[in-house]
């Protein structure tokens, strides 16, 4: 089997362009694009894709959405499955890609950063911000320079950022597409982010098994307490109701942790 050099997880609200980025890297449509407000019901899909001839596994996830009604079974199932994916992924996570649609910074960006980068990845995984929808900006990176401070004020401190367009736009009379140029540059930026952050990074980021690893070393009881604390944090960050918390725990219990 071809060697897979790293696991890359894309997170962010529905409609921020995660699937489009996957398709851009693939060079063809492999991930379904969401067309309306409601995202498709899924937790994550994974794709092995080459970047400059090296294979990486990309995870297209169902992010947390602004204004989404928590307390639904789907919501608990989604969070539980993502929780399992992130905490037990074989080989660990090499890069977290937080996607947002520019230019406005929504609460969902903050919430997704907090849940995925801070709580689930325990701030141990290199994280980059990918801002899509930037095709009308004269200088794509200017947004990042102008907004970096505001993001940092909200605690969103990525290791790197790329302002891109993940679509080619409408077809013009000459057969070219409106954003072809931006799109090609965007693809190069994403490829560089992956290669720079994953390949050139030492030491290798190990699996974040906050209770898995300690379970073998320390007592079972201790890990239970630790787990409970992390679950509490996620529940708080998702503004879960008491009922939702109970459901979340129920869903987690169904997952074969041990």
Ligand X SMILES: Nc1nc2c(ncn2[C@@H]2O[C@H](COP(=O)(O)OP(=O)(O)O)[C@@H](O)[C@H]2O)c(=O)[nH]1
Residues 249, 253, 257: CA angle, nearest 5 degrees: 125
Contacts of 215 (CB under 8 A, 6+ apart): 209, 223, 258
Q: Which of 7, 16, 19, 111 binds Mg ion (CB under 5 A)?
A: 19
Q: Which of 165, 168, 205, 211 binds ligand X (CB under 6 A)?
A: 165
Nearer to ligand X, 15 or 126 (CB): 15
Of the candidates 213, 210, 239, the residue with the CA atom closest to the CA atom of residue 225: 210
- Residues in contact with ligand X, counted by CB under 6 A, come to a total of 18
- How many Å apart are CA 16 and CA 48, to the nearest integer? 21
Nearer to ligand X, 66 or 230 (CB): 66
Burial 7-29 (b: 16+ CB within 10 A, else e): bbbbbbbbbbbbbbbbbbbeeee
Under the binding rule (CB under 6 A), the answer on residue 82 touching ligand X is: no
Report how far apart the first and last C-alpha atoms of the chain are (Å, whole number).
Answer: 28
Nearer to ligand X, 132 or 147 (CB): 132
Under the binding rule (CB under 6 A), the answer on residue 133 touching ligand X is: yes
Under the binding rule (CB under 6 A), the answer on residue 17 touching ligand X is: yes
Under the binding rule (CB under 6 A), the answer on residue 39 touching ligand X is: yes
Under the binding rule (CB under 6 A), the answer on residue 18 touching ligand X is: yes
> How many alpha carbons lie under 13 Å from residue 144 in its C-beta half-sphere?
19
Nearer to ligand X, 13 or 244 (CB): 13
Stretch of 29-37, 140-148, 235-243, 246-254 lying at the interface with ligand X (CB under 6 A): 29-37
| Cβ–Cβ under 8 Å, residues 177 and 188 | no
Question: C-beta of 215: minimal distance to Mg ion in Å?
Answer: 34
The site for ligand X (CB under 6 A) is made up of 12, 14-20, 33-35, 39, 132-133, 135, 165-167
């Amino acid at each position: 089997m071809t060697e897979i050099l790293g696991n890359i997880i894309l997170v962010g609200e529905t409609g921020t362009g995660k699937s489009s980025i996957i398709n851009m890297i693939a060079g063809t449509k492999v991930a379904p694009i969401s067309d309306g407000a409601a995202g498709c019901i899924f937790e994550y899909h994974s794709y092995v894709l080459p970047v400059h001839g090296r294979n990486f596994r990309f995870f297209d996830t169902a992010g947390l959405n602004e204004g989404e009604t928590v307390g639904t079974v789907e919501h608990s199932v989604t969070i539980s499955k993502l929780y399992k994916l992130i905490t037990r992924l074989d080989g660990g996570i090499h890069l977290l890609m937080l996607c947002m649609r520019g230019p406005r910074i929504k609460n969902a960006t903050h919430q997704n950063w907090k849940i995925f980068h801070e709580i689930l990845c325990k701030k141990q995984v290199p994280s980059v911000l990918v801002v899509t929808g930037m095709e009308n900006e004269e200088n794509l990176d200017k947004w990042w320079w102008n907004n970096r401070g505001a993001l940092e004020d909200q605690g969103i401190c990525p290791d790197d950022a790329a302002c891109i367009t993940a679509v080619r736009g409408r077809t013009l009379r000459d057969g070219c597409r409106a954003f072809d140029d931006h799109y090609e540059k965007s693809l190069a930026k994403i490829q560089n982010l992956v290669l720079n952050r994953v390949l050139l990074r030492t030491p290798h980021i190990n699996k974040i098994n906050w209770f898995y690893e300690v379970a073998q070393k320390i007592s079972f009881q201790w890990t239970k307490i630790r787990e409970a604390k992390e679950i509490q944090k996620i529940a708080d960050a998702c503004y879960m109701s008491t009922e939702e918390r109970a459901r979340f725990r129920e869903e987690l219990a169904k997952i074969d942790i041990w």
